[in-house]
Amino acid sequence: MKTITLISGDGIGPEVVGATRKIIDATGVKITWEECEAGAKVFKKGVGTGVPTETIDSIIRNRIVLKGPLETPVGFGEKSANVTLRKMFEMYGNIRPIKEIPGVKTPYSGRGIDLVIVRENVEDLYAGIEYMQTPGTAECLKLISRNGCEKISRLAFEFARSEGRKSVYCAHKANIMKVTEGLLKHTFEEVAKDYPDIESGNIIVDNCAHQLVKKPEQYDVLVMTNMNGDILSDLGSALIGGLGFAAGANIGDNIAMFEAVHGSAPKYAGKNNINPTAVLMTGIMMLRYIEEFDAANAIEQALFVTLAKDKILTRDIVGDVGAASTTAFTDAIIGNIGKTYETQPKRNYKPLQLPRVSNDAVVAKQRQVDGVDIYLENNGDAKSVGKQLESLCNGTRFSLKTMSCRGVKVYPAPEVEIASTDLYCCRFMSSDINDGDIIDLLQRLSAKFHWVHIEKLNVFDGVAAYSKIHGE
């Protein structure tokens, strides 16, 4: 008997999660559901995270969660309860299958879309680390770790193996963000060597978006960073019929939380007309995760029979006339358990082997600092600021190499005039400098300028660990 933490959630949550629970129970699979609260009700009780201690304890005990959508009511709590849960339990992988559903007509019907997006879930721009550098310029930090890249890459390959899939492609923007997106691409290529049974490759993410609309059936498993995965997986859900069909799993080393992509759709709450398929397919993923393969297959087949053979469809697919209510749709699926939808090819599902990646620090055998980028708040003319900085370097170990604005060189004089903002990045080069040299330079600067932040120009194992400036 497996115990699972069940969070019904807000809005349509109780209807769609309730339907899923009823269908899973109807297969006879032995599950005890531990009902817990999170979301709007909890925020309103004054719990600032939206997740009470009893729910956290239940999750730690059971390690598997089936969760409905959660709302953050206006005026309560700073952060979404969903994000809190994902981060609290370091659920680093978000798996979103995008699979053509029999009986659900879309412009792509008949093309056999059957792909999975594996999205990194805790790093990247979505860590939400942001600063106004000046009153006029904002910054968001895109932090990507080597260990995080290894974990998500291995998870993608392991997931492919668990479903007998043939290929894994890394979709990235390493052509522009060579250091951050490049870290995922390079790490992925290293990890791929451990999976010779699976074809691997990479694709630039904007081309991937284009290909997903043009020929989505060419893909099997795609792995990508957090924001790219967020955007492309929503695009993917539209290919197969919309949010009513988009399932998802959040995977961590110790805890897995299964939740559909959609939210609480408050305007449909309590109307008994919402589509529970996304949460049901999420429940199917959960059953496979806990190795209840027969129950998962039985539900999938019953769902397909209901949709494609019996043509029982909810309002989001057929509109108001002739639509089945949520409860009628649920009962029809339960009535079809045991039936098979013959033409649907079954995958050879196997237990997912979770990757165990060391959290040890990545060390460089050799390191040096080549210089420093200092960001200055300044609206002045680039040439006159540049000249002042050059004379300020006299008597120090630094020389001014370039000034740039939003990554583009503005000094020494670029070939074409570049629009400036109120933030210059000033690149000072030297060799073999130490922190004292940098502090000395900052002190000189601060007498005349308003510096905002600095970045060291590190060289790790002989490789420059910083980007070049456009026009440098």
Please report, as ranges, the residues that interact with ligand NAD according to CB under 6 A: 16, 69-71, 82, 243-244, 259, 262-265, 274-275, 278, 316
Q: Which two tokens stand for residue 262?
A: 């959609």
Report the amino acid identity of residue 131.
Y
Choice between 160 and 279, CB closer to ligand NAD: 279
Contacts 24+ apart (CB under 8 A), 324-329: 325/272, 325/273, 326/15, 326/16, 326/19, 326/272, 326/273, 326/274, 326/275, 326/276, 327/19, 327/272, 329/19, 329/275, 329/276
Nearer to ligand NAD, 152 or 261 (CB): 261
Residue closer to ligand NAD, measured from CB, 183 or 313:
313
76 vs 451, beta carbon nearer ligand NAD: 76
CB of 66 to ligand NAD, least distance (A): 12
Minimum CB distance to ligand NAD smaller for 152 or for 278: 278
Smallest distance, Å, CB 11 to ligand NAD?
A: 6
Beta bridge partners of 425: 375, 404
Nearer to ligand NAD, 40 or 405 (CB): 40
Q: How far apart are CA 420 and CA 382, in angstroms?
A: 8
Amino acid at 379: N
Residue for token pair 């399932």: 247
Minimal distance, residue 121 CB to ligand NAD, in Å: 12
**Minimum distance from CB of 67 to ligand NAD (Å)?**
7
In the complex, what is the shortest distance from the CB of residue 15 to ligand NAD, in angstroms, rounded to a whole number?
9
Minimum separation from the CB atom of position 278 to ligand NAD (A): 5
- CA separation for the pair 313, 102 (Å, rounded): 11
Which residue's CB is nearer to ligand NAD, number 82 or number 420? 82
Between 204 and 269, CB nearer to ligand NAD: 269
Tokens of 228: 């790219």
Complex with ligand NAD: residue 95 or 372, whichever CB lies closer: 95
- Computed from CA positions of residues 259, 265, 269, 271, in that sequence, does the dihedral angle turn out positive or negative? negative
CA distance 65 to 215: 34
User: Closest approach of Cβ 309 to ligand NAD, in Å?
Assistant: 21
Nearest position to ligand NAD, beta carbon: 263
Closer CB to ligand NAD, residue 69 or residue 283?
69
Closest contact distance (angstroms) between CB of 9 and ligand NAD is 6
How many C-beta atoms surround the C-beta of residue 349 within 10 A? 15
The answer to whether residues 355 and 158 touch, using CB atoms and an 8 Å cutoff, is: yes
Chain Cα centroid distance, residue 359: 20
- Nearest approach in angstroms of CB 276 to ligand NAD is 7
Nearer to ligand NAD by C-beta: 71 or 373?
71
Phi (first) and psi of residue 118, to 5 degrees: -105, 110
Residue 325 phi, psi dihedral angles, 5° rounding: -75, 165
Report in angstroms how near the CB of residue 176 gets to ligand NAD at its nearest.
29
- Furthest-apart CA atoms within the chain: distance in Å: 85
Q: How far is the CB of 68 from ligand NAD (least distance, A)?
A: 7
